[in-house]
Amino acid sequence: MSDIVNRFANYKVQQNIYDGGTQIFFYPIPEEYEFSGIEFWIEKELEEITDINNLVFYRIAFNFGSTLFLGRDGYHLKR
């Protein structure tokens, strides 16, 4: 995770109240990249996270869109 945090400074952390876990959403991404957001789902609950740089993630998604939307299951990008 520390490699991602070093490259992309803007991120939000959101607890997924719909089915548990935590989402870390990097947005906005600099325009030189082909994607506009990166999201990670972490099995830890939000209050268990003490240092974002020490997290191990098991799933990553690259998102495309221009409007950030917060729903009960985390952040999404709308087109």
Q: Give the count of alpha carbons within 13 A of 11, CB side only.
A: 20
Question: Which of the residues in the chain have pLDDT under 50?
Answer: none
pLDDT at 44: 85
Domain that holds residue 38: 2-78
What 3-state DSSP class applies to 62? strand
The tally of domains found in the chain comes to: 1
Spatial contact of 8 and 40, defined as CB atoms under 8 Å apart: no
pLDDT at 55: 86
Alpha helix positions (H), the chain: 2-7
pLDDT at 8: 93
Strand partners, 63: 37
pLDDT at 78: 86
